[in-house]
Amino acid sequence: MIRPFKTTRVLCAAGLVLTSAVFGPTIVSAQADDAPKKEISDSVSENLQKIQELTEAKQGDETLNLLNTQLATAKPESYDTMVLKQIKIQVLLTQERYAEAIDPMEDVLRLGRAYDFMDQNRFLEFNQILSQLYFQEATEIKGTTPADVRKRTEYLQKAYQAIKVYLAENESPTEDSLSYAATMIYTQATMDESNTDTDMLNEARDIAERGLLMSAKPRESFYVLILAALQQDEKNAEAAEVLELLVRQKPTSKQYWQQLQATYLNLANDAPEGSRENLEWNIRTVYTIDRAQKLGILDEPRDHFNRVGILMNIQQFDQAIGFLVQGLKDGKIEDTQQNWEYLASSYQQVNKELAAIDALNTAAGKWPDQGELDFRIANIYYILDKLEDAYKAGNAALDKGNLKNRPAVLMFVAYMGYELKKYEDALVLAKEAVDAGADRAEGLYNAIEGAIEERQAALEATI
């Protein structure tokens, strides 16, 4: 299954640009008489220039010390506190101290909404960043203790609630924000592999689909997330459609072609055997392999053999033969005894028994100690009513050994000898079959003995 890229260190480049807003002119709006004023106090204003100089000089620790000194004397419910904490957030994020940025971010958002200290766009931007901070901390917790699980769950829930505020109140979210939201919600939906949250999974998919409409050429990550959600929900037909879009968008991706092949094959396996659906999905799988191989992808021996196997399953034996012959010739299909046997079987399916014998003889030359190949040749000769050839091939099988069922081969060759009136040799083989416990061996042995006696009686009668 393709899973969306898991976001880590999501705020490395977030770069909150607060300086211009903080140090620029203060805009005062109408407020209730008892509400904190949206203005910077003289004491804080006097230190803003120094704070700005330290910030621009990237003297983070010194900036934080000065900010903390100012915050210690500022009223908690004041515009001063919100401004100072905005700057503190910027410094902490620059130093990648993400966990420490959470508390001041929560305070900034609370003050901003409670007293109308910030405009809606800034408020929503901060909600998104706070969601990312929560998510970042959740991904950093690797432990499995109850306390770890509880803390991780708490961070994830907060990340979800914060991004929900952003999405609910933002009429024009960015592609980046939708991509983050979809990925974060998908991560939560599938965190418990034994209990997927279907509602959250569908929500993540809806957000990703919304992201597809953001541009004429949607980013790949939206397709990947939709695909992952469909796969998680076992909606293979819909997943195949998304994969078709992905291989069209990124035709050099081996992973997407592999996923598409596997998805079509799963659909074929899920369809009733012999049904129209089963045939259609199998044909789509073969066509996928063909398309990928034109790009130099799915070109491993297993891929070539998969195509042959599918063609044999849907009884397209002529095509299977063509791919097998070519593959065994140029090395695209592994040169194994089993694959040569598959070739022989395919020839038999299209009534080309002599070609099947040739294939098995070729295999016998490559694996000269495998009597099973000769036994298969013997069976084909028997079907063709070529008993002498069947008898010779059967004896070759017994001489070589490595048989799956030697007693059955003994019975077969003994019977051929009986049919060809080679009674003495057949009797020896039948006796060995009896000793080996072969079914109906005694009956064949008695029949051969009887034939010998009849022949002897007839001979004596002519004397």
Q: Is the pLDDT of residue 12 over 80?
A: no
Domain regions of the chain by residue span: 1-171, 176-232
Rg of the chain over CA atoms, in angstroms? 39
The alpha carbon of 126 is separated from its chain's Cα centroid by a whole number of angstroms, namely 35
**Is the separation of the CB atoms in 40 and 75 below 8 Å?**
no
Distance CA 157, CA 237 (A): 32
Mean pLDDT of 337-356: 97
* 1-171 classified as CATH 1.25.40: yes
User: Where residue 33 falls among pLDDT bands split at 50, 70, 90?
Assistant: low
Report the distance separating Cα 11 and Cα 29, nearest Å.
32
pLDDT, tens digit, for every residue of 280-328? Answer: 999 999 999 999 999 999 999 999 999 999 999 999 999 999 999 999 9
Higher pLDDT, 53 or 328: 328
Condensed to tens digits (0 to 9), the pLDDT of residues 225-234 reads 999 999 989 9
Model pLDDT for residues 63-116, shown as the tens digit of each residue: 999 999 999 999 999 999 999 999 999 999 999 999 999 999 999 999 999 999
Whole-angstrom Cα distance, residue 427 to residue 444? 9
Closest residue by Cα to residue 188 from 197, 179, 176: 197
First to last CA, the chain: 85
Separation of alpha carbons 25 and 273, rounded Å: 75
139 contacts 159 by C-beta, under 8 angstroms: no
If phi > 0 it is left, if psi is from -120 to 50 it is alpha, else beta; for residue 311 that is: alpha
Give the pLDDT of residue 215.
86
